[in-house]
């Protein structure tokens, strides 16, 4: 039973057919209630345990990343830091293509069909390696084309940073760990890579390395993670021997993934297009200020990433088992997204400017003035991430594609108009308007999306109250 059908009938979780009201209130109802409570507690336990491990890993990543990012920003200066940010933003957008839209699909498939994991993982890895290698070559070609015009960020930094796309192909193993709820192993592997990357960047600063070496450091981090994931497969996940490539499976994954890939590209363009376009408008130093503010905002955004990773498998299981439970878990996810937004956005707006100056130095004082606007963007960004779990679980690839492309087109158009006049402030306003369009503006096109938008609005207006 899908959400729309459940909404139209107005039904809650209906009693099973053939069970009288007396039986419902008697022993069977009591035992059923106990079973439901035990099941819910076990689900909460798994989610909390997974969230704890991912929280520790993300805390390590963002804590060390903020420290080394601030140190590197001081060392490079606003202009070079802005150029590096533009190159990394371009690679991030290209990564939306390299993923082939498979990330959440793999979690769903591995959760629902664990017996077919060898074929699923083997096929996905082959597809990711081919796509990322091709995109890296394209990035190299683009860098040479733009390099002739003196574009230092693209001619020198882009090919080095784009190597990360090839190393990231191995993260298909992460989807297996997520689907199996093995967040501890995932967090440990990522943490080792984070520590290695931190040490490398410290050495680069102390050794007074060029900005190009900082672009290469990101690829090294993903390379270490790939080695760790490969070790995990060989020792604990049955090895690579059971992995195989299936053309039929590849076609099926690609058929569902291509709309999500295009949508992912559009979403990445919304997230990083502002930095790319600021670089295109030759506002390197102002882009450095903007990038410094984003570093601080990133610390506030990691809670939602953990929330999405932990809850996606449980919400997928709930949809398979019970429509009422599915709705409650979705609404709970949106309430959690709003709660996280309040807890992080308010301190960011109040204390952010002081924190930016303290971390990055007086050269980045202008970045602090951007944080109150960034705080507003956190609400839409967090809710959008949570909404993505619903869209993937429902398999609404076409709808995701339409809304994401519309939002990206609006973002590019607004950035084109507002950045020349308002600079970094115009880029933030453009993202606020385009995120609003993506999250709420087009929900009327689909019945399931309309029902889900009501859940989101209920969570926004009354985040302290659950569904009746």
How far is 388 from 290, CA to CA, in rounded Å?
A: 26
Q: Which helix (H) or strand (E) covers residue 201, if one does?
A: helix 183-206
How far is it, in rounded angstroms, from Cα 32 to Cα 91?
Answer: 52
Torsion sign across C-alpha atoms 307, 309, 311, 315:
positive
- The verdict on pTM exceeding 0.75 is no
Vertex 60: Cα angle to 64 and 128 (nearest 5) = 100
What is the C-alpha radius of gyration for the chain, rounded to an integer number of angstroms? 23
Judged on CB neighbours under 10 Å (0-12, 13-18, 19+), 227 is middle
CB atoms inside a 10 Å sphere around CB 356: 24
- What are the CA-CA distances from residue 184 to residues 103, 191, 344, 425 (Å)? 19, 10, 25, 40
Token pair 């009746």 in the structure block, residue: 468
HEC letters along 151-187: CHHHHHHHHHHHHHHHHHHHHHHHHHHHHCCCHHHHH
* 437 secondary structure, DSSP code: I
**What stretch of H or E contains 287?**
helix 284-321
pLDDT per residue of the chain (468 residues) written in tens, 0 to 9: 444 444 333 333 333 334 444 444 444 443 444 444 445 555 556 566 666 777 777 778 878 888 888 899 899 888 888 888 888 888 888 888 888 888 878 887 787 777 777 888 888 888 888 988 888 888 788 777 654 444 455 567 888 888 888 888 888 887 877 777 677 777 888 888 889 989 999 999 998 888 888 888 888 888 888 888 888 877 776 677 678 888 888 888 888 888 778 877 887 888 788 888 887 675 667 888 888 888 888 777 767 777 777 788 888 888 888 888 899 999 989 998 898 888 888 888 888 888 888 888 888 888 888 888 888 888 888 888 889 889 888 888 788 888 888 988 999 999 999 988 888 888 899 989 998 888 888 888 888 999 999 999 988 888 887 776
Region of residue 93 (left: phi > 0; alpha: psi -120 to 50; beta: else): alpha
Q: Cα dihedral sign for 362, 59, 188, 393?
A: negative
Phi-psi region of 19 (alpha: psi -120 to 50; beta: other; left: phi over 0): beta
Q: Which two tokens stand for residue 196?
A: 């290695």
Spatial neighbors of 213 by CB under 8 A, at least 6 apart, are: 204
Rounded Cα distance between 169 and 44, Å, is 31
What gap in Å lies between CA 455 and CA 467, rounded to an integer? 9
């Amino acid at each position: 039973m899908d959400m729309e059908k459940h909404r139209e009938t107005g039904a809650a979780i209906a009693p099973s057919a053939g069970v009288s009201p007396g039986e419902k209130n008697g022993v069977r109802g009591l035992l059923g209630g106990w079973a439901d409570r035990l099941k819910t507690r076990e689900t909460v336990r798994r989610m909390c345990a997974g969230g704890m491990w991912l929280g520790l890993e993300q805390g390590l990543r963002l804590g060390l990343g903020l420290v080394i990012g601030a140190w590197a920003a001081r060392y490079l200066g606003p202009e070079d830091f802005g150029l590096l940010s533009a190159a990394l933003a371009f690679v991030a957008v290209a990564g939306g293509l390299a993923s082939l839209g498979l990330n959440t699909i793999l979690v769903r498939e591995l959760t629902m069909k664990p017996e077919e994991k060898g074929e699923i993982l083997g096929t996905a890895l082959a597809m990711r390696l081919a796509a990322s290698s091709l995109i890296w070559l394209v990035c190299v070609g683009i860098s040479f084309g733009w390099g002739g015009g003196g574009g230092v960020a693209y001619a020198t930094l882009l090919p080095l940073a784009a190597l990360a796309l090839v190393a990231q192909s191995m993260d298909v193993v992460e989807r297996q760990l997520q689907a199996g709820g093995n967040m501890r192993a995932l967090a440990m592997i990522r943490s080792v890579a984070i520590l290695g990357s931190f040490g490398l960047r410290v050495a680069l600063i102390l050794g007074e390395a060029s900005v190009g070496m900082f672009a290469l450091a990101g690829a090294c981090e993903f390379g270490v993670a790939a080695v760790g994931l490969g070790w995990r497969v060989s020792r604990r996940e049955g090895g690579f021997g059971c992995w195989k490539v299936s053309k039929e499976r590849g076609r099926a994954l690609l058929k569902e993934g291509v709309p999500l890939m295009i949508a992912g590209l559009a979403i990445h363009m919304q997230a990083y297009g502002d930095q790319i376009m600021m670089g295109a408008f030759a506002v390197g130093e102002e882009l450095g200020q903007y990038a410094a503010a984003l570093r601080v905002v990133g610390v506030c955004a990691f809670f939602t990433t953990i929330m999405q990773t932990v809850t996606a498998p449980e919400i997928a299981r709930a949809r398979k088992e019970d429509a009422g439970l599915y709705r409650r878990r979705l609404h709970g996810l949106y309430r959690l997204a709003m709660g996280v937004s309040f807890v992080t956005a308010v301190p960011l707006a109040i204390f952010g400017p002081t924190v930016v100056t303290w971390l990055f130095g007086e050269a980045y004082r202008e970045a602090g003035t951007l944080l109150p606007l960034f705080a507003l963007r956190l609400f839409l960004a967090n809710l959008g991430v949570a909404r993505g779990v619903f869209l993937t679980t429902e398999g609404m690839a076409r709808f995701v594609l339409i809304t994401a492309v519309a939002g990206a087109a609006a973002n590019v158009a607004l950035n084109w108009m507002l950045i020349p006049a308002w600079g970094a402030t115009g880029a933030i306003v453009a993202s606020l308007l385009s995120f609003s369009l993506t999250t709420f503006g087009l929900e009327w096109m689909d019945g399931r999306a309309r029902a889900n938008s009501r859940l989101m609005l209920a969570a926004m207006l009354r985040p302290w109250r659950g569904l009746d």
